Every structure is written in C-alpha cells, then in structure tokens.
Structure 1
Amino acid sequence: MTLAVALSGGMDSLLALALARDAGGDVLAVHAHFLPPDHRARELAHALETLCRGLGVPFHALDLSEAFRQRVVTPFAQAYASGLTPNPCAACNRDMKFGLLFEAARALGAGRIATGHYARLAPAPEGGQALLRGADPAKDQSYFLTLVHRRNLDHARFPLGDWTKARVPAELARRGLTPPLPSESQEVCFVPDDDYRAFLQSLGAPLPGPGPIVLEDGRVVGRHQGLWRYTVGQRKGIGVAWGFPLHVLAKRAGKNALVVGPKAALAALECRVREVNALADPSRWPGEVLVQTCYRQHPRPARAAPDGEGGLLLHFLDPVERPTPGQVAALFDGSGRALAGGIIA
C-alpha cells in the first residue's frame, strides 16, 4: 500500500520522508499550499521537488488554500468574534492534514499518510490504532492530534514517534539532507508576526466592539476594547489600575462583558467539553483520567462523565487554572494513550 508523506519544508517532515523511504514500499510526497501560493511558496515547492527527486520519491504540490480558508481561517475568526480562544492547529490536523490532504493523497493512489508529528501509534486492544504520546516529552504533539477522527488515525503513520527532536538535525546532516525551511514557526502559521489581533482586523470580519470590564460581583471597573482582544488568564493589557493585579476570568459574550479578578479566582475544579472525539471506547476508560487543557500544561487527574448533552463534564481532583473556552481538552490514560479530545465550553 502506497504511503504519502506530508512535506512542509521543515526538518521533521523531511526526516519522516527519509525514514519512510528506508522502510521500503511505495512512497510519494505531498506538499499542501494552505495559503495562496506566492513566489516564495512556489520556490519552496520547487526545492522540495528537487529533494524528492534526489531521494527517488514522486512529489506532488497541492493548492488547498481555499479549503484552508473555509475550514480553518474563517472558523478561527468566528471563534474569536464569539468570545472564544480557538486552537487552529488542532483544527488543521483534523480537517486538512488528516482530512482533505489525505483525501488528495488517496486520489494519487496512497492508502496511508505520514507526517512529522512527534506522536506514536500502536495496535489498540479493541482494534485499529491507538494514539500515544511521543517519546520526546519536550516535543510530544499528541495533544494537537486528539481531534483527528479515529478512522483517519487508522491510516496514519508517525515515523518520528520514537525520536527526540535533538537527534533530528544530526541525522539529516548525516544523510546530506538540508530542509528548505531551516527554522520552523512555533505559532499559528497563517498569522503574520504572530499578531492575531492585527490579523483578525485585516480580515475585515465583524468583531464585537468595546464594552464593560466587571468584577465577579458585577461592579464596573473599566471599558474593554473588544472581547476578541483578551483571553482567560491574561494579566497584562487589561488597562485597569486596581488594588491588586487583575486577571481575565471570563468573557461573557451575551453581555459583551469582560470579567476580571484576582489570580486566585482563576482556580477551577471542573469544565465542560463539547464536540468530543472519542479515540477509545468510553466504557473502557479508567475511573481517573489525565486531562491536558493547553499544549504546555502538565496533565492533571480528573474524572470524566457525560454531561447529558453529548459532551463531557470534567471534575478535577485538585484545582487547576481555569481552562480557556475554545481550546482543546485532551484526555489520556496513565499509559499515555489518548482517550478523547474536544473543545472546552
């Protein structure tokens, strides 16, 4: 069965391609233009095609920019406009890399797709593949993959799952391979200079305007410049002088109100999760799961229960910093297997 390897231009996907070729079998490379291809993007595609030719691997560049705009960029803007803080990377993995890009690879004759993600897959006891944390704890990207449908993970491969990031540059050098993109962005790829506020304004999409800044008891203490400019937990840039440092506690979109208070008020014992993507049969989940509500967070023990509306209610065993609505909540068991992913409500 032909394996398609998604190439971004960075070192991780390039090594994934080399390892896939070493493993034998038919391999092809696919490079997606998620933004309208300009001269620089075409130069990158040409450099990747040259690399693939040297490796003896067929190369295909695909313009998926319009679909990316519809499925990732527009929902990103809509989420901010509605008072949420979205995670576009997780949405891109679900809808684009393991969605439309995989469909395009299938049309080219591939039955599986590999990426440079630091995550692992293993046979699941109930059949199919289980998503596991990557071997490199500093780079593990399983969190961003928990929204990918299990039927698509069953056709995925992660050649770097057992690698550490530190080994990759030396291995590429040993093979005489130089990635066209020597440095890789750690932020949202489609937001110039990582300035999401300027990006949202540049889209011309309707964004809510100024409104009251209130304490939890309802007292008005100032005016905000649009809820989309703030996120839960934020301290700097609120613009209110008070007797103690103020943090954003919540965004009440219905009243266009920004709720602020002391850091201690950020402590939470539960949160709700919607749009749940189960990666293991919930009836087999352990009574206590490990929950990660942002990428760099150490997973926290919790109990998960249906909320009666198709989602989950998570009860943390100890207080955690209030999860941010719109972000991803990823559930794992003690072995590192991903059980589910969903959107924090």
Structure 2
Amino acid sequence: MSDHMLPPANGRRLRVLAAMSGGVDSAVAAARAVEAGHDVVGVHLALSAKPATLREGARGCCTIEDSRDARRAADVIGIPFYVWDMAERFREDVMDDFVAEYKAGRTPNPCLRCNEKIKFAALLDKALGLGFDAVCTGHYARIVEHPDGSRELHRSVDMGKDQSYVLGVLDSDQLAHAMFPLGGDTKGDVRLEAERRDLAVAKKPDSHDICFIADGDTQGFLAKHLGTERGDIVDASGTKLGEHDGAYAYTIGQRKGLRIGHPAADGKPRYVLDISPVNNTVTVGPVEALDVDRLVGIRPRWCGPAPAGVVDCTAQVRAHGEETAAVAEVVDGQVRVRLAEPIRGIARGQAVVLYAGTRVIGSATIDATA
C-alpha cells in the first residue's frame, strides 16, 4: 500500500483541474500538481451571484478579491485560468439546503454539502465531461492507493488542519478522481513553500465561518430568509419559561441568549436540549441532559465498500471535534452508532464520520440521538 499523493502510481500524465479558491492552500496544491508533471488548468468557482469586493478579515470567501488572488497565483504557477459560474447550483444545493435544514430544526454543515454537491459532483462532473482526469484541491487529507488501484481516504498528518471530516461524503468513484497534494504536510510547511514560490497569498489569512455569511451573523441570515415566528421556550415538563422570535436561531447545547425570565430551581444554567419546528418550541434543561451515547444516521455515504456487520471504529461529530471510540452497524439503510463515552450536545443534521484508525469509513447525517 502506498501513500497516494503525486503523481499516480502508474506514472501517467494526468489532465488535472485545480480548484483555486484564492487562498494559499489551493495555490500550493496546484503548483505541486504542475511540478509532478501533470497538465493543470486552474479554475475559480464563482459561488455568489453578487460577490463582495473584499473579504471581511478572515471571514467568508469567494469574493472578487479571492478571484483575483487565484488568477495571480495561476499566472505565477504558469497555468491557464478560468472562472466558472456555479452561483445558481451553489444556491440550490448549499444555501437553500442550509435554510431548509434550520427550518426543520436541524443543524447542517454547509462545507460537507459543498464538497458533496459542488466540488466533487458539479465541478467533477463538468471536469470529466471536458476530458480531465482529476480535480485537485487544497484540502488537508490523504488518499492512500493499494496495488489493485483501490483508494482510501485518510486523515492529514497535520491533525490541527485535518479536513477529512468534511470530505467524508465522498464515495469511491469521486475518490478515484480526487487529488489532495497537501495531506502529508503541515500548514506552516505550506505557507513557507508558498513564499519560496513567490505566491502573494503566502500570508493570506485562512477563511473561517460560513462562506456565504461573511459577517458571521448566522441568526440574521436565517431571519432574512425565514422571518420571525414567536414561540415558547419550555422545560422538559412543558412549562413555559420564556419566548423566542424563531426556533431556528437556537442550536442544541446553546446556553447564552435564551431569554428565560426566571432561574432554574437549582440555580444552575440551562441549555437548549431540543428544537421542535412542529410546535415552534425550544426545550431547555440541565447540561447533563445533553449527553448522548447513541445516534442514528441517515443518507450514509461510504468512502469504499459499506461496512458489514458490527464494526469497531471511532466517530467524529464536529469538524474540529475529537473522535470517540464507537461501534457502528448498518441496519435497513441507517447507520446505528453506539459511543463508548457520551458526547455532549449533538444536534440533528450534523454529520457523524466514522474512522478506522486514520482511514475514513464514511459518513451519515444524524437523524436521532439517545
């Protein structure tokens, strides 16, 4: 088994489409693909119908400035560069999905959806249609290739930057055409390399938060799309404690901003335990009620063959969360996971990603917890 980076095991020169966001990671990834001898074309995805001119610090991405940074990097690397308009597809598959999930009382991860629906579906499909062999991105993850040509998705060596969680939605066919040149390096190494390559983005800050909510005001974004709908804040017994202007503004595990009129009998803080869109209520209670040791995932995506029987693994439920020992089993198309230790504050709509060591087994959307 070999750690698949660049070039492919058979040494064939590939036609590679490098997705260039305008950041340092994708620029260095594209440069490495060229250095490995591949025929590389850079493309920047225009994901907003009305992109801002400038990024707000490290918030957001996909601005006009980012497009220009990507073009300048492509010029330095010496590859052709194009901007592809995918704003409508992004709105339908990522933004509309994001709003619909919150409306349904769930907490989605738009980065997973973007990787699944945009970068490794819409973009990859277009790339293959144009005769490209692979899509190259600056994600921190590794692809390991076996002698028989089968591939596995693994964690990055830089655990602080590891992005295998948001790539856990990729299936075998998508992994067969994916290229992640940065998985064997640290972020510091990549920035130093960018400086050596005279890439102006070497010191550009990483983007954070949700790219289409550049100001970081998720509640304001949702209010604009969903409006206000007054409802009750209740305890586990159904006793009304306060009111809210929209259940979508709350997340499981939230403590601050609950607008509760009087303290709990024991004087301890209360947390959001449940969000019900059916009766527009938010249920709050003690922190220990947030502990979850069982969950059910729907719409599984496997980075290889689906697991058979009961599988010992580790589970990760947040992009930057820790992994927990678990056992998982696929039953009637659902993934049932039992955690060795409780995890606090898991919300429906989040993804659970399963690992065998550093290998990603697959992922599922959390539909129920206990």
TM band (smaller chain):
over 0.9
One of 80, 88, 93 as aligned partner of 1:58: 80
Q: Which moved more, 1:53-62 or 1:78-87?
A: 53-62
Unpaired runs of at least 5, structure 2: 1-13, 54-62
Contact 2:45–2:86 under 8 Å retained in 1: yes
Unpaired runs of at least 5, structure 1: none
After superposition, give the CA deviation of every residue in 1:42-77 in whole Å (9 maximum; x if it has no partner).
554344334323322111110110111111111111
One of 69, 79, 85 as aligned partner of 2:101: 79
Contact 2:120–2:170 under 8 Å retained in 1: yes
After superposition, give the CA deviation of every residue in 1:221-275 in whole Å (9 maximum; x if it has no partner).
2222211000000000111131220000111222222111111111111111111
RMSD, matched Cα: 2.0
Contact 2:142–2:156 under 8 Å retained in 1: yes
Task: Flag the 1:29–1:235 CA change in 2: closer, same or farther, 3 A.
Answer: same
Q: Which SS does the other structure have where 1:97 is aligned?
A: helix
One of 207, 212, 225 as aligned partner of 1:185: 207
The letter for the 1-side match of 2:16 is L
How far 1:207 sits from its partner (Å)?
4.8
Structure 1 position 265 matched with structure 2 position 278: no
Could you tell me how far apart the structure 2 residues matched to 1:307 and 1:247 are? 32
Greater fraction helix: 1
After superposition, give the CA deviation of every residue in 1:75-134 in whole Å (9 maximum; x if it has no partner).
111111111111000000000011111223234431101100000001258853111001
The letter for the 1-side match of 2:254 is Q
Q: Which SS does the other structure have where 1:194 is aligned?
A: coil
Q: Which SS does the other structure have where 2:339 is aligned?
A: strand
One of 314, 317, 322 as aligned partner of 1:298: 322
Could you tell me how far apart the structure 1 residues matched to 2:87 and 2:220 are? 20
Structure 1 position 314 matched with structure 2 position 345: no
May I ask how many residue pairs the two structures share in their alignment? 341
Could you tell me how far apart the structure 1 residues matched to 2:279 and 2:129 are? 48
Task: Flag the 1:285–1:3 CA change in 2: closer, same or farther, 3 A.
Answer: farther
Could you tell me how far apart the structure 2 residues matched to 1:55 and 1:45 are? 15
Q: Which moved more, 1:311-320 or 1:33-42?
A: 33-42
The letter for the 2-side match of 1:226 is G
Residue in 2 aligned with 1:145?
167
Q: Which SS does the other structure have where 2:273 is aligned?
A: strand
Could you tell me how far apart the structure 1 residues matched to 2:232 and 2:221 are? 24
Q: How does 1:136-285 map to 2 (within 5 A)?
A: 136-179=158-201, 182-202=204-224, 205-207=225-227, 209-240=229-260, 241-242=262-263, 243-283=267-307
Contact 2:21–2:67 under 8 Å retained in 1: no
Contact 2:109–2:350 under 8 Å retained in 1: yes
The letter for the 1-side match of 2:276 is R
Contact 1:129–1:153 under 8 Å retained in 2: yes
Could you tell me how far apart the structure 2 residues matched to 1:126 and 1:311 are? 30
Residue in 1 aligned with 2:135?
113
After superposition, give the CA deviation of every residue in 1:279-328 in whole Å (9 maximum; x if it has no partner).
232345773210001112110111112343x2111111222213111111
Question: Normalising by the residue count of structure 2, what TM-score does the alignment of the two structures yield?
Answer: 0.87
Structure 1 position 8 matched with structure 2 position 28: no
Q: Which SS does the other structure have where 1:329 is aligned?
A: strand
- The share of aligned pairs that are identical, in percent, is 33
Task: Flag the 1:38–1:317 CA change in 2: closer, same or farther, 3 A.
Answer: closer
Structure 1 position 340 matched with structure 2 position 359: no
